[in-house]
């Protein structure tokens, strides 16, 4: 584990003796790159992403808290993806490397959302796995409620050729179609148009097939799964995405979006997403 600059911003670089590798930016505690041992990059980072601290970084795994998307009055995706985090624990062994980053309320967050909280992101790489855990504590004296997500941008060869399995039969809210509630009926989701869905109460692991490689996606604590691809038109409106960027990414996000999570004073909550290269 070493602290380095990545696109001129401080970042932690994790490596295991077996060849797994990840980069975690201190800006937003955002994982920006992950290569499993013996494999290839699984995270999409836009080549036009801005790394100057002025906007969220487009790609990797942005942390959304205490608000997912525009489900409230706070800035989109909340308050944590545009601030520097503090490095906590760093540990490595024969086959793993682990780092923890922390943050808590400050004057700006308190002005926007008057709550006292602690947030911790733990990133672990181990052989063919990447684990990312968000832990939230209510350090104030009154309960609060939040929505959250690990907004994971997965890298795919060609999005129309990728298949996401495991969502069959689930209800979802279709944000690309006036928030209509629908039910998934295909055996695999193939993205061929703008897609912005919140799948409710997904208990099963998911499988993403991308040409010759596959990725298992396991989630604990986050009840929902968001699938997002902006497709051509919306992608063209994103200044930090190349015109064809949407073809090489698919967001599959571990989320708590449908219902808010309520946390009493002094309580903690955590949610975890584990990616397994197969």
* Interface positions with ligand TA6 (CB under 6 A): 56, 69, 76-77, 151, 175, 196, 226, 228, 251, 253
Nearest distance in Å: CB 68, ligand TA6: 7
Is the C-alpha dihedral spanning 89, 221, 72, 151 positive or negative? positive
Residue pair 119/83 in contact by the 8 Å Cβ criterion? no
| Closer of 173 and 272 to ligand TA6 (Cβ) | 173
| Closer of 99 and 255 to ligand TA6 (Cβ) | 255
| Closer of 77 and 129 to ligand TA6 (Cβ) | 77
| Closer of 69 and 99 to ligand TA6 (Cβ) | 69
Nearest distance in Å: CB 176, ligand TA6: 8
| Closer of 91 and 180 to ligand TA6 (Cβ) | 180
Nearest distance in Å: CB 161, ligand TA6: 22
In 93-189, which residue ranges form alpha helices assigned H by DSSP? 107-112
Q: Which residues are bridge partners to 13 per DSSP?
A: 2, 23
* Of 93, 102, 127, residue with least CA distance to 22: 127
Residue pair 224/257 in contact by the 8 Å Cβ criterion? yes
The secondary structure of residue 205, as a DSSP letter, is -
Nearest distance in Å: CB 39, ligand TA6: 25
Nearest distance in Å: CB 104, ligand TA6: 23
The residues, any chain, with a CB within 8 Å of residue 277's CB and separated by 6 or more, are 36, 39, 42, 128, 129, 213, 214, 215
């Amino acid at each position: 584990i070493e602290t380095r600059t990545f696109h001129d911003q401080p970042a932690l670089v994790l490596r295991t003796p077996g060849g797994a590798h990840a980069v975690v930016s201190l800006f937003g505690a955002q994982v920006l790159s992950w290569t499993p041992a013996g494999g290839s990059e699984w995270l999409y980072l836009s080549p036009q992403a801005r790394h100057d601290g002025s906007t969220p970084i487009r790609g990797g795994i942005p942390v959304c808290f205490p608000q997912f998307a525009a489900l409230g009055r706070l800035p989109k995706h909340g308050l944590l993806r545009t601030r520097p985090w503090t490095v906590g624990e760093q540990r490595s062994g024969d086959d793993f490397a682990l780092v923890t980053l922390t943050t808590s309320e400050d004057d700006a967050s308190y002005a926007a959302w008057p709550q006292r909280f602690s947030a911790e992101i733990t990133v672990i790489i181990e052989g063919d796995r990447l684990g990312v855990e968000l832990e939230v504590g209510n350090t104030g004296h009154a309960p609060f409620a939040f929505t959250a997500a690990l907004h994971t941008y997965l890298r795919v060869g060609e999005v129309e050729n990728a298949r996401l399995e495991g969502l069959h039969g689930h209800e979802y809210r279709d944000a690309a179609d006036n928030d209509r509630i629908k039910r998934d009926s295909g055996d695999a989701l193939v993205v061929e148009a703008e897609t912005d869905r919140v799948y409710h109460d997904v208990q099963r692991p998911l499988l993403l097939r991308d040409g010759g490689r596959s990725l298992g996606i396991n989630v604990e604590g986050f009840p929902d799964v968001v699938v997002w691809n902006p497709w051509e038109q919306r992608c063209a409106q994103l200044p930090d995405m190349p015109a064809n960027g949407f073809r090489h990414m698919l967001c599959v996000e571990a989320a708590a979006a449908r219902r808010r999570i309520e946390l009493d004073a002094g309580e903690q909550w955590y949610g975890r997403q584990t990616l397994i290269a197969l």
